[in-house]
Amino acid sequence: MLNVRETGVNFIERKFAEYYADAFETVSLPSSFTQREFGFIPFTEKIMIRHKGFTAPEEFMTFITSITPAHAYYSAAYYEDPEAPMAKKGWIGSDLIFDIDSDHIPTPCKGEHDYWICEDCSTGTSQSSQGNCPHCGSGKLRKEFWLCETCLELAKAETLKLLDFLITDFGFQQREIKTYFSGHRGYHVHVDREGVKSLDQAARKEIVDYLLGTGLNIEFHGLKRTHRTAEWRSMGPTLSDSGWKGRIAKGVYDFLLSATPQQLEDLEGLTKTAARRVVNNRDRILAGGGNSAPWGVVKGVGPKTWETLAMNGVKKQASMIDPVVTMDIHRLIRVPRSLHGKTGLKAVPIPINFLEKFNPLTEAVAFPEGQLDVYVTEAPAFRLGSGVFGPYRRERVELPMAAGIYLLCKRAAKDARRPS
Ligand SMILES: [Zn+2]
Ligand SMILES: [Zn+2]
């Protein structure tokens, strides 16, 4: 008798092997390829095969087709000897990298597609019934991200925001920046430029702090109190200012444009009276926002209120990168165009100009042909390729190959054509 899980895994492994043999292109392998460390997670073991180095793309191809990994990574770092133990590798430098993961972004739909997988019986469930598996009662449930258009859209918007920081504030050239869909729930951004390679951890932390707006003092960014006649007035930054000044103005402006009276009242540090005054004068404030204000044009809205609104603006404008990834100078990152073992999707390089139009749910599909007959344990509705599927519960369905493989990768289904 075949184990349910192994049946699905063997099939995915075979399809991944076909992909690496027929469709994988080595053109997108990283620069200075021979100085990088590579790591692979096989389907059958959880342990990563790492400290691998390659002298030529062909050698990489031979290796990847011989082991067919569930995940393939390379180091953002360059080493004298990538195969040596960590301490003896001889660190030369590292690309500057950023990770934007929808898991770190507060999206409105999380509750709708929260999903758990039982470590003991592999049942997938959207109902964790007080943290236990509804099938076998096990308490070992692993939370899984379910492909979601809204989450991926928001991750993309965050990536565009990050690119604006990198190009406008840091002055990087478009051609020095590479953007990738991760194959799962977010995007990676790499800066490949000589000057950044030698940055140590402390320098990278400075970059992270800037992007997060950490420790930002509003008074140094244009929100000054000036004494005029008998009244205190706030002269704030404007939309056309550069750097964080302009970003703060934009954060305040965008918030005032869309906030409900309730959202204003809920803002920590804002009194009810002040919130009401802002609401009542919203149009006047926004009308001044084009070039000069929105600051200080309303009587009775004082510096304290503006400061609260400004700090909220900082929060909205900050980049939602994963700080740990950027600060780690030995980080392993996914090999472009390799397959993601949790989805069966490709890690896709995206030209910056194309990012806005990029749709991961169609562009990242690695298996566009064929159908697959699967038995689905449980799956919420999801969109992939040009179709919408599910929800399914303990049923046999014929799906386009990519959707079938996705469910197998999530261990939410098994290959129905084989005995179990
Ligand atoms: Zn279970
Ligand atoms: Zn979502």
Contacts of 106 (CB under 8 A, 6+ apart): none
Which of the ligands is closest to the CA of residue 132? 1
Q: Could you tell me which of 156, 162, 217 has the C-alpha nearest to residue 190?
A: 162
State the ligand closest to the CA atom of 141: 1
State which H helix or E strand residue 232 sits in: strand 231-235
Measured from the alpha carbon of residue 108, the closest ligand is 2
How remote is the CA of residue 12 from the centroid of ligand 2, in Å? 25
pLDDT of residue 220: 77
Query: Does the predicted TM-score (pTM) go above 0.75?
Result: yes
Q: Write out the CATH class of domain 218-317.
A: mainly alpha
DSSP letter (8 states) at residue 338: P
Give the Cα separation of 374 and 295 in Å (integer): 59
Q: How far is the CA of 410 from the centre of ligand 1 (A)?
A: 15
CB 36 within 8 A of CB 75: yes
CA of 391 to the centre of ligand 1 (A): 19
Tell how far the Cα of 343 is from the centroid of ligand 2, in angstroms: 16
Classify strands 332-334 and 141-144 as parallel, antiparallel or unpaired.
Answer: unpaired
Note the pLDDT of residue 6.
46
The answer to whether residue 38 scores a pLDDT higher than 70 is yes
CA of residue 111 to ligand 2 center, whole Å: 8
Nearest-angstrom CA–CA distance, 141 and 124: 9
Structural element, H or E, at residue 178: strand 177-181
Question: In which residue are the tokens 């056309």 written?
Answer: 240
What backbone phi and psi angles, to 5 degrees, belong to 332?
A: -95, 135
Mean pLDDT for the chain? 87
Cα-to-centroid distance, 108 and ligand 1 (Å): 28
> Regarding beta strands 332-334 and 231-235, do their DSSP bridges make them parallel or antiparallel, or are they unpaired?
unpaired
Burial of 410 (C-beta count, 10 Å sphere; 0-12/13-18/19+): buried
d(CA 104, ligand 2 centre) in Å: 12
> What is d(CA 148, CA 186) in angstroms, rounded to the nearest whole number?
11
Question: What SS3 class is residue 384?
Answer: strand
Å from CA of 28 to ligand 2 middle:
30
Looking at the CA of 131, which ligand is closest? 1
Kindly give the distance from the C-alpha atom of residue 405 to the centroid of ligand 2, in angstroms, as a whole number.
20
Residues 393-416: tens digit of each pLDDT: 889 999 999 999 999 998 888 888
CA 152–ligand 2 middle distance (angstroms): 7
Task: Report pLDDT for 5.
Answer: 45
pLDDT per position as a tens digit, 254-279: 888 888 888 888 888 888 888 888 88
Ligand minimally distant from the alpha carbon of residue 109: 2
* Ligand 2: centre distance to CA 384 (Å): 14
Cα of 88 from ligand 2 centre, angstroms: 43
Q: What is the pLDDT of residue 406?
A: 96
The answer on pLDDT for 172 being more than 90 is: yes
- Predicted pLDDT of residue 227: 58
Give 64-82 pLDDT, tens digit per residue. Answer: 999 999 999 999 999 999 9
* The pLDDT of residue 247 is above 60: yes
- How many A from CA of 107 to the centre of ligand 2? 6
SS3 358: coil
Domain segments of the chain: what residues? 218-317
Poorest-confidence range of 45-59, 209-223, 357-371?
209-223
- 149 CA distance to ligand 2 centroid (A)? 6
Query: What are 96-138's pLDDT values in tens digits?
Result: 999 999 888 888 887 777 778 788 877 767 765 567 888 888 8
Show the DSSP H helices in 191-343 as ranges. 194-197, 201-212, 243-258, 261-266, 272-280, 282-287, 303-317, 323-327
Long-range CB contacts (< 8 A, 24+ apart) of 40-46?
40/64, 40/67, 40/69, 40/71, 40/72, 40/73, 41/69, 41/70, 41/71, 41/341, 42/67, 42/68, 42/69, 42/70, 43/9, 43/12, 43/13, 43/16, 43/68, 43/69, 43/70, 43/341, 44/9
Looking at all shown ligands, the one closest to residue 136's CA atom is 1
Gap from CA of 134 to ligand 1 centroid (Å): 7
